[in-house]
Structure 1
């Protein structure tokens, strides 16, 4: 399949999946935050489609440019719970911008690093928010923003599982899978903890991608 067609097809797949996920969430009685973070997790898997279906970074950039502008518009226009939060959140805009940056530098030369940054953001940050909001009882405060110990543990464990499976899938030797996965997960957890407000959607993928590139 022509990679330009694949690029457009990936947009259609993501849009269809997100609309379906939102409808399922509403039928099951999920909270707006649960729907929003489930979408956050699902969107990160676009990177797998990109690596499987496309060869050139500029072709893969098309969907990310589309979603950057679409999310910026929907941030002010959409009634969807994906964009409606307690305060105006720019995380949905920072997300594709960060992926564009790591796409440009790593997609063709180090796709493993690109996938690591995208999937750790999806699962680690997503699960940190879901677990932290529901079970977070031990709270710590960094310059006015509250995080929970339970959310940080979820961030670490989710990141580690993602990296462990991703590294195994790419035939990384076991000692590196175990140790480097641990180190990068710690880095990702600390990055999430100290990032101000929605900036974790920007900082996590970039820092995780760079750390993966340096270690592997």
Structure 2
């Protein structure tokens, strides 16, 4: 009897440990699912909010489109901070831009009718426009999340695509009327300056946030110099008269990812 009791006793901590480990693994996934659902709801709320403002004519269509572009990306990248270190975290996170991309695809292809979304996201009001820039944007976000999860290369490239490229358009339209670039009349000094500053400041802010949370090594002058270089090159790329051949949402992040992969 005593031997059996002793045996039962020695097993108890192990089985308890096993239960705790299993429960912890479950909790890990639960946190990731909760963050995914929260971020998805948040991104749809931001998009719907700008949709409503554009539909009521409170902000112009083009500004609404660029505000969605400029706000959703950085908020999405910040959500990476709240996932666990589980192997599945990056895939759950990638569901967020994937679902937004699927929504754009269904509306853009005419499968789902959504006039407010078309008005908010398109340049000229045609639904097929949703299958271009906005759709490429969600594809780049999805792939970068899976491949460059919590990596400076991904963080900087997405900061440039969202903060820099979005801001270039907003500021360029407001203040670029009389300072066009000599090699591309549809781009301006004001827009390119905003692109460079927006890219750099957002990249630095997000890298500091990820460093503060312990996901990246400490920042130093070398990191900042690399970020400045990538932002400089991508600002030039964005200003080139090539966007009738390749969309900025593809050319800009691709160049940034290529440079970052070699520099970080």
What range is the shorter-chain TM-score in? 0.7 to 0.9
Aligned to 1:47: 77
* Residue 203 of structure 1 pairs with residue 251 of structure 2: yes
Q: Deviations over 1:100-158 (max 9, x none)?
A: 22222211xx5332222222211101110001111112224768x82222111110111
SS in 2 for 1:103: helix
- 1:174 and 1:159 map into 2 onto residues whose CA distance is 18
Aligned to 1:99: 141
- 2:165 and 2:255 map into 1 onto residues whose CA distance is 13
- 1:176 and 1:167 map into 2 onto residues whose CA distance is 13
SS in 2 for 1:147: strand
Offset at 1:191?
2.4
Match for residue 198 of structure 2 among 129, 153, 158: 158
Partners of 1:41 and 1:126 within 8 A in 2: yes
Q: What TM-score results when the alignment is normalised by the length of structure 2?
A: 0.70
Partners of 1:164 and 1:177 within 8 A in 2: no
Offset at 1:200?
1.0
Partners of 2:155 and 2:207 within 8 A in 1: no
Q: State the number of aligned residues.
A: 213
Q: Deviations over 1:153-204 (max 9, x none)?
A: 1101111111232334425443124311210111221222234147111232
Q: What TM-score results when the alignment is normalised by the length of structure 1?
A: 0.84
SS in 1 for 2:247: helix
- 2:243 and 2:92 map into 1 onto residues whose CA distance is 32
Gaps (5+ residues) in structure 2? Answer: 1-29, 212-216
- 1:66 and 1:138 map into 2 onto residues whose CA distance is 39
Moved over 6 A (4+): 25-28
Offset at 1:17?
2.3
Task: Say which structure, 1 or 2, has more relative contact order (CA 8 Å, 6+ apart).
Answer: 1
The alignment yields a C-alpha RMSD, in angstroms, of: 2.6
- Name the larger-Rg structure: 2
